[in-house]
């Protein structure tokens, strides 16, 4: 495990911005963390999934579990870290009666990075997305490659073929289509960790994660579920022209191996990696092996620029 390179305390700063829509401006919540000063540091943008807002996923605190906040861990190592609640989640605007699908989330990322560029002068981000957040991040990179320095896609799905979790979820597609939001509760959060390989996460972490999620939301948008059950693929690997890391948990029931490999081989950038994470199911940062994930990501986001690229 690499050691912290910054002895300064980590600061957290709340930000708000507006996304312009045909229905008027949508207010988005952003959260920034850094050690010392945010100036002159590489920026890391975290993108959350379908069933929780950003801070429970990326800035979690669990008593007795060091470094549960991945934002703190990277801030201590010289990054300025950002996350944003997608429309319909957490502290962001929920007034529009829309499903908040993956394309809408990619638009949220465009609005968030517009704001960060205007306020902090940052125009290129290392970008990490998990589950439907990986789809949002990939679509954002497809639309705005100039804003993504290096991309990491965790618990990603391309076509959905061979994914047992999605096979079960498709049975509920009529319910998802009938309403733009679905209720969530503690039992639902537990089910995320019970469906694939229950021993991958400890109860104290899952309890803290559930507490953090439910403090912000009692329902979630259905758009990403609908997309993942009935509209895949929503990204085109040939159009993702940035360095890309694909991460798959050993037991993940959404990220089917053959589907990911088919996606991976179609990525055009020669700087790409595929990593399987041992002992991990779907929610990487809440697993017992979470520090393994941090280390993989740190190596990816600090990889030196190659001295030789083989040509223009």
Give residue-wise pLDDT tens across range 37-57. Answer: 999 999 999 999 999 999 999
Alpha-carbon distance values, 169 to 21, 83, 85 (Å): 30, 27, 24
The rounded distance, in Å, linking the Cα atoms of 157 and 112 is 24
The rounded distance, in Å, linking the Cα atoms of 12 and 310 is 42
16 touches 29 (CB < 8 A): yes
Give residue-wise pLDDT tens across range 276-287. Answer: 999 999 999 999
CATH topology of domain 10-301: Rossmann fold (3.40.50)
Would you place residue 312 in the very low, low, confident or very high pLDDT band (cuts 50, 70, 90)?
low
The rounded distance, in Å, linking the Cα atoms of 137 and 50 is 13
pLDDT recorded at residue 311: 74
The rounded distance, in Å, linking the Cα atoms of 141 and 241 is 8
Q: Strands, E, within the chain: which ranges? A: 10-19, 26-35, 43-47, 80-84, 125-130, 148-154, 181-183, 219-221, 244-249, 272-277
The rounded distance, in Å, linking the Cα atoms of 16 and 311 is 43
Give residue-wise pLDDT tens across range 208-236. Answer: 999 999 999 999 999 999 999 999 999 99
Q: At what angle do helices 203-214 and 186-194 cross, to 10 degrees?
A: 140
Query: What value does the mean pLDDT of the chain take?
Result: 96
Query: pTM of the prediction?
Result: 0.96
Alpha-carbon distance values, 142 to 83, 110, 121, 138, 262 (Å): 19, 12, 22, 6, 17
pLDDT recorded at residue 3: 46
């Amino acid at each position: 495990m690499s050691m912290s390179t910054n002895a300064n305390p980590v600061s957290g700063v709340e930000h708000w911005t507006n996304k312009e829509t045909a229905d008027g401006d949508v207010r988005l919540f952003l959260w920034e963390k850094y050690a010392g000063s945010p100036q002159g540091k590489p920026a890391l943008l975290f993108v959350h999934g379908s069933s929780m807002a950003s801070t429970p996923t990326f800035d979690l605190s669990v008593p007795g579990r060091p470094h549960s906040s991945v934002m703190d861990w990277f801030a201590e190592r010289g990054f300025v870290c950002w996350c944003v609640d997608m429309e319909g989640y957490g502290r962001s605007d929920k007034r529009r009666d829309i499903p908040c699908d993956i394309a809408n989330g990619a638009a949220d990322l465009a609005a968030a990075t517009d704001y960060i560029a205007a306020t902090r002068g940052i125009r290129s981000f290392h970008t990490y997305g998990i589950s439907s957040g990986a789809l949002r991040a990939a679509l954002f990179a497809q639309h705005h490659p100039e804003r993504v320095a290096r991309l990491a896609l965790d618990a990603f799905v391309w076509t959905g073929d061979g994914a047992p979790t999605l096979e079960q979820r498709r049975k509920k597609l009529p319910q998802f289509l009938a309403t733009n939001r679905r209720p969530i509760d503690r039992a639902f959060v537990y089910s995320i960790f019970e469906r694939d390989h229950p021993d991958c996460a400890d109860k104290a972490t899952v309890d803290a994660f559930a507490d953090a999620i439910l403090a912000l939301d009692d329902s979630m948008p259905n758009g990403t579920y609908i997309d993942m059950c009935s509209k895949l693929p929503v990204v085109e690997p040939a159009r993702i022209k940035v360095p890309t890391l694909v991460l798959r948990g050993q037991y993940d029931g959404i990220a089917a191996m053959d589907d990911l490999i088919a996606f991976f081989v179609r990525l055009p950038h020669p700087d790409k990696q595929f990593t399987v994470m041992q002992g991990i199911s779907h929610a990487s940062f809440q697993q017992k092996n979470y520090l393994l994930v941090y280390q993989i990501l740190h190596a990816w986001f600090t990889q030196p620029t190659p001295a030789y690229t083989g040509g223009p």
